Amino acid sequence: MPIGPPIPNTTKHYNSSSTHLARSITRSRTATRPPSPQLPYTPTDYYERATLDPDGALRLYVYPKNNNNNSGLTNTWTVVGMFPANPCQTIQADDGGGACGFNAYCNFDDDQSVRLNCKCVLGYKFIDTNRTYLGCIPDFTVQSYDEYQSNQYMFNEMPTTDWPGNSYAHYTPTDEDTCRALCLADCMCSAAVFRGLDCWKIKMPLTNGGQGMRVGGKALIKVPKTNTSLPTHGSPNTITTEKKDRSTLILVISVLLGSSGFLNILIMIAAPIVSFSFCNRTKDNKNQIEQTMLGSNLRVFTYKELEEATDNFREELGSGGFGIVYKGALAAGFHMAIAVKKLDRAAAKESEQEFTNEVRSIAQTHHKNLVKLLGFCNEGNHRMLVYEYMSNGSLTSFLFGSTRLEWNKRAQIIMGIARGLSYLHEDCTTQIIHCDIKSQNILLNDDFIPKISDFGLAKLLRADQTRTNTAIRGTKGYVAPEWFKNSAVTAKVDVYSFGVLLLEIICCRKNVQTEAATEEAAVLAYWAHDCFRNGRLDLLVDGNEEAMIDVTRVERFVTVAIWCILEEPSLRPSMRKVAQMLEGAVAVPVLPNPSSYISSIV
């Protein structure tokens, strides 16, 4: 019976004595054989057995048949060969914990012939002490996102230790103090690895852990200063400390103004009220700022850094309802062009909400069709967002301007936007409704890959939510009808907006064209539906030869667009289904009767 892929010059199968299996290990050039006085041995003098051990290594054991042997081997089962030679280094997993399981590590330089010596990360404990290869769990209470306070944590240092391939953020050049600060500020960061001028942030579970001189650097394991120091809801310690601080303040003021008993009484009454109000307002502002930072892999910029990066906000790229976007470049050593969105202080309340929305939503997303947020500035009254720079600007200029993209590129852009929206709706940890899908918010990089941007109006849903009640959001012409019905909205509002955008990209015209010959032709959705129903797709692509050669795809895209803009939300397909239909992975159903309210598509 085969037990693995064939290797040249080996025979890997079981028989009554396991001799062939044993021979394959001893002859393998990649096997390790611990030193012994007289080798090779023969089956005549030794019993042999091979076991696939729990640590993933295949080991060959021998036992002398003659108790008076002169081999030097004891009268016990002795390991004389193994494969792989170094399980600690060789056994790695893309979706598992590696040789020692999650949150554990082994030493590359240890003798692994008998067993793999797995150890827990400092501050963690084995799941099962008898089966250490199962990995480890934290030996402390892990704070939730809402409770996290960076000042409650410290680092345990582990020299020459790493979890390669498990990092989610990399900073260079940097120093160790900055590396520590970056990890402390991020509730997702469970450990940081600092080596040379590089810092990697790692989140739980830690995988493929290894230690050894060849690793270099050091690992910084984040653990609570004391297990009891972790705050709980309504923590008595926190309340007591706050009361002590306020009491001290009252006492000092009372002593200084002791000449007036009445004034002292007034102070004693007013001070707690003023202090409580001020502290809570400050705390609320601080918490709001911290909550946008926690769990994100973002760099925090100072106002001065961004002022210098944009040459005092000299080159304007565009503007929107809440601010202006400027072009800039990060300091020497980074060589990266950036776009800095400076929120308008005149609309303080609205821009503050947009700032919080944008950081919270896009910071947790990672997709090739979403614009990448690099960091932000939250200093004093300054609110700025720093994005990767998109050299080709917005899609708008390539649809309605003098330069129009060829059909094939437009088709690829359509499918890229659909994939990005599908990710936001179904693949994010928190479902995100963008609420403002339009051509201006689709940016194009050097290769014309589309990136969805501007999450200022986005709505994040809880895990148990599928719909939400909120004020009307979006841009005229792209807003779904249900926004005006004073009812809860779902991700289908984005599907509607995408349908309108899809027609714009197909036809290279705006959703409303006031100079059109008739009222029906002025509204793109009505006109496109009429052209489709009358079999005049050529009118939609304005005689574009490339598109007419690809008429089957044009018809498919137009049909999908009409599905997306149906008035009844339940009839619209999900963005995942939209992406599949656009790609031709699933058939596009026949459009329903306009009076029908029974969906034939999920």
Least-confidence region, from 245-249, 321-325, 334-338, 506-510: 245-249
In our burial notation (b when 16+ CB lie closer than 10 A, e otherwise), range 173-192 reads ebeeeebbbbbbbbbbbbbb
Residue 71's pLDDT band, with cuts at 50, 70 and 90, is: low
Do 374 and 418 fall into the same domain? no
From 71, 62, 59, select the one nearest 17 (Cα to Cα): 62
Higher pLDDT, 430 or 549: 549
Q: Which amino acid is at 65?
A: K
Q: Which of 388, 418, 449 corresponds to the end of one domain?
A: 388
Do 356 and 439 fall into the same domain? no
pLDDT higher than 60, residue 506: yes
Give the pLDDT confidence score for residue 193 in this predicted structure: 92
Is 243 domain-assigned?
no
Give the pLDDT confidence score for residue 29 in this predicted structure: 33
Taking residues 158-184, report their average pLDDT.
Answer: 85
Cβ contacts of 61 within 8 Å, gap of 6 or more: 48, 49, 50, 51, 77, 78, 79, 80
Structure tokens given for 116: 């793999």
Q: Which of 207, 231, 255 corresponds to the end of one domain?
A: 231
Do 471 and 563 fall into the same domain? yes
Taking residues 329-354, report their average pLDDT.
Answer: 69
Do 472 and 350 fall into the same domain? no
Do 327 and 414 fall into the same domain? no
Do 357 and 406 fall into the same domain? no
Structure tokens given for 569: 């939300």
In angstroms, the CA 76 to CA 63 distance is 6
pLDDT higher than 50, residue 6: no
Do 182 and 129 fall into the same domain? yes
From 296, 365, 362, 307, select the one nearest 331 (Cα to Cα): 307
Give the pLDDT confidence score for residue 225 in this predicted structure: 84
110 catalytic? Reply is no
pLDDT higher than 80, residue 257: no
Is 152 domain-assigned?
yes
Q: Which of 55, 162, 186, 436 is catalytic?
A: 436
Is 417 domain-assigned?
yes
Do 173 and 195 fall into the same domain? yes
Range of the domain at 39: 19-85
Is 255 domain-assigned?
no
Do 495 and 565 fall into the same domain? yes
Sheet holding 78-83, edge to edge: 46-52, 58-64, 78-83
Do 306 and 332 fall into the same domain? yes
Cβ contacts of 159 within 8 Å, gap of 6 or more: 218, 219
Query: The domain spanning residue 152 has which CATH number?
Result: 3.50.4.10
In angstroms, the CA 553 to CA 584 distance is 9
From 478, 496, 509, select the one nearest 563 (Cα to Cα): 496
Taking residues 9-37, report their average pLDDT.
Answer: 39
Query: The domain spanning residue 453 has which CATH number?
Result: 1.10.510.10
Is 512 domain-assigned?
yes
Is 245 domain-assigned?
no
Burial of 480 (0-12, 13-18, 19+ CB in 10 A): buried
| Strand locations in 18-70 (E) | 46-52, 58-64
Give the pLDDT confidence score for residue 11 in this predicted structure: 34
Q: Give pLDDT tens digits for 297-338.
A: 578 888 998 999 999 999 998 876 567 899 999 864 446 789
Give the pLDDT confidence score for residue 38 in this predicted structure: 42
Give the pLDDT confidence score for residue 563 in this predicted structure: 95
Does 349 carry a binding-site annotation? yes
Is 95 domain-assigned?
no
Do 37 and 135 fall into the same domain? no
Q: Which of 362, 388, 414 corresponds to the end of one domain?
A: 388
Taking residues 172-190, report their average pLDDT.
Answer: 87
Distances (CA, A) of 595 to 188, 294, 493, 598: 50, 48, 20, 9
pLDDT higher than 60, residue 85: yes
Higher pLDDT, 340 or 85: 340
Number of domains in the chain: 4
Do 219 and 357 fall into the same domain? no
Is 374 domain-assigned?
yes
Contact by Cβ (8 Å): 474, 457: yes
Counting every residue written for the chain, the total comes to 602
